[in-house]
């Protein structure tokens, strides 16, 4: 069945369900540069090449947001595109187009980069073992999607209003706009021995002797995936969030819990009242200030933290640790997870429609010690111990199959799909998808990018 898709000025014809071993070729029609005229595709889909791939501009950030810029294809890369034929390997393409193999490799890496705004798909027949090139299917995201209220005049990130007023898509927010590890692993996954992420986290913390049976306070709870998987506790499971919309969705996911509007940097809780505090992938949303800002440097010196040579200070994460020290009960515990570094410069996640800045966990450990807390920093994959032999759907295949499902009226969430769970979720079988290790890009963030800060307050007396 040949389908027609109109994407702006571009018309794409493709056969999404051709079987293994099909030898016939499909003629392709594009409203794109002449250099691609006459290109044929063996069976899975066609391609469209924008004038330039939209990619984040790391040199610009400020009150107008973090813009995307068009990075045009080089003449050599266009020659590669003109030579694309699914019967050929990457080396064959290089020879056919008269360019160095490195050009083919560079183009493939550009098209599969997780922050390039284009939909990617593997075009080969399912029987083909050659990874070849990933192709662009669809139009790139327009630049400058970020709004002025996400930065202040200093260039610091300011997402408070965005969380309170701009999140209106609660049920789909973490599928369409950002995805957390807890959300992606909201389904049981063999990499976690058939557990959901929240259940796995509860178990490994219990193995450390932490009081995981309640009461529990979770701050910044997304759509309630962690709470839902954690399960009921003795006493209260209290959810604190800035977003009224997300609080509403969380209540549906975890009806045993209670919700409260509140800010991680100013928790509406009494001193010494929390036996267990959970904060999963929230710190990057807090205020971050460019290194060198006078106020940030002054605060850093007051807290006794080492200076950085560039990048950002995630000052909000400093305040979050201070709040944890205030509200933890004697002998209580806190766990913070986020992407970041233990030393070196902190980076911004530029691929999102809002600014998120990673965390310097070395700073947080030093600060926690100065506040009288025992601190341990571990990698998230070392804490929850996912199997390194299990796989999930590759990101380019995920984007492609999600677009395909949407054309059939099926909404596919951003989950750590396995062949079985994806088969059950789709309206029909799809062959030729790539399955990669959890250390490769998939529907959700890489577990290897995340660190965990484990805190313990001194006992009574």
Pick the closest to residue 374 from 160, 203, 208 (CA basis).
Answer: 208
One domain for residues 251 and 363 = yes
Give me the number of domains the chain comprises: 2
pTM of the complete model: 0.77
Cα dihedral 351, 357, 361, 364 in deg (nearest 10): -160
Q: How wide is the angle at C-alpha 64 spanned by C-alphas 61 and 66, nearest 5°?
A: 40
- In sequence order, the β-bridge partners of residue 435 are 393
One domain for residues 71 and 26 = yes
The pLDDT assigned to 227 comes to 97
Phi first, then psi, for residue 61 (nearest 5°) are -160, 135
One domain for residues 168 and 61 = no
One domain for residues 280 and 425 = no
Domain contains 403: yes
The pLDDT assigned to 409 comes to 84
CB 196 within 8 A of CB 185: yes
CB 352 within 8 A of CB 285: no
The pLDDT assigned to 40 comes to 28
CB 99 within 8 A of CB 79: yes
Rounded Cα distance, 152 and 157, in Å: 7
The pLDDT assigned to 132 comes to 40
Residue stretches of the chain with pLDDT short of 50: 1-50, 63-65, 86-87, 117-142
* Three-state secondary structure call for residue 318: helix
One domain for residues 41 and 114 = yes
Q: Which domain holds residue 401?
A: 3-143+391-436
One domain for residues 374 and 395 = no
Tokens of 459: 């006992």
The pLDDT assigned to 69 comes to 66
* CATH at residue 176: 3.40.50.150
Q: Name 122's Cβ contacts closer than 8 Å, sequence gap at least 6.
A: 44, 131, 132, 134, 135, 394, 396, 397, 400, 432, 433, 434
The pLDDT assigned to 177 comes to 86
Rounded Cα distance, 154 and 123, in Å: 45
- In sequence order, the β-bridge partners of residue 276 are 333
Rounded Cα distance, 155 and 160, in Å: 15
The pLDDT assigned to 300 comes to 97
């Amino acid at each position: 069945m040949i389908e027609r898709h109109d994407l702006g000025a571009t018309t794409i014809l493709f056969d999404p369900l051709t079987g293994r071993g099909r030898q016939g070729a499909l003629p392709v029609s594009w409203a794109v540069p002449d250099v691609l005229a006459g290109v044929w595709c063996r069976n899975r889909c066609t391609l469209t090449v924008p004038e330039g791939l939209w990619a984040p501009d790391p040199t610009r950030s400020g009150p107008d947001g973090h813009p995307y810029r068009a990075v045009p294809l080089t003449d050599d890369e266009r020659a590669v595109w003109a030579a694309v034929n699914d019967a050929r390997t990457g080396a064959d393409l290089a020879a056919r187009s008269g360019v160095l193999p490195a050009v083919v490799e560079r183009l493939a890496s550009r098209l599969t980069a997780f922050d390039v705004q284009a939909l990617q798909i593997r075009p080969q027949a399912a029987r083909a073992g050659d990874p070849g090139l990933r192709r662009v299917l669809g139009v790139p995201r327009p630049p400058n999607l970020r709004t002025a209220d996400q930065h202040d005049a200093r260039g610091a990130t300011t997402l408070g209003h965005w969380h309170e007023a701009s999140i209106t898509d609660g049920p789909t927010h973490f599928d369409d706009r950002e995805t957390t590890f807890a959300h992606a692993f909201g389904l049981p996954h063999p990499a976690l021995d058939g557990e959901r992420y929240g259940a796995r986290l509860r178990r490994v913390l219990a193995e450390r002797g932490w009081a995981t049976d309640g009461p529990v306070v979770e701050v910044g709870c997304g759509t309630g995936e962690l709470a839902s998987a954690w399960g009921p506790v003795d006493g209260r499971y209290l959810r604190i969030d800035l977003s009224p919309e997300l609080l509403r969705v969380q209540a549906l996911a975890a009806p045993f819990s209670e919700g409260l509007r509140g800010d991680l940097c100013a928790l509406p809780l009494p001193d010494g009242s929390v036996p267990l505090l959970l904060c999963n992938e929230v710190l990057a949303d807090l205020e971050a200030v460019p290194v060198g800002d006078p106020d940030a440097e002054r605060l850093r010196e007051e807290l006794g933290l080492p200076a950085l040579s560039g990048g950002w200070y995630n000052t909000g994460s400093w305040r979050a640790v201070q709040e944890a020290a205030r509200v933890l009960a004697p002998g209580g515990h806190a766990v913070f997870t986020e992407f970041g570094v233990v030393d070196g410069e902190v980076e911004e996640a530029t691929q999102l429609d809002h600014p998120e800045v990673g965390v310097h966990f070395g700073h947080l450990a030093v600060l926690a010690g100065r506040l009288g807390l025992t601190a341990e920093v571990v990698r998230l994959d070392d804490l929850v111990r996912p199997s390194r032999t299990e796989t999930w759907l590759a990101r380019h295949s995920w984007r492609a199959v999600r677009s395909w499902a949407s054309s059939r009226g099926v909404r596919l969430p951003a989950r750590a799909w396995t062949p079985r769970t994806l088969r059950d979720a789709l309206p029909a079988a799809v062959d030729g998808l790539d399955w990669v290790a959890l250390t490769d890009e998939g529907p959700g963030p890489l577990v290897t990018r995340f660190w965990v800060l484990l805190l313990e307050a001194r006992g009574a007396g």
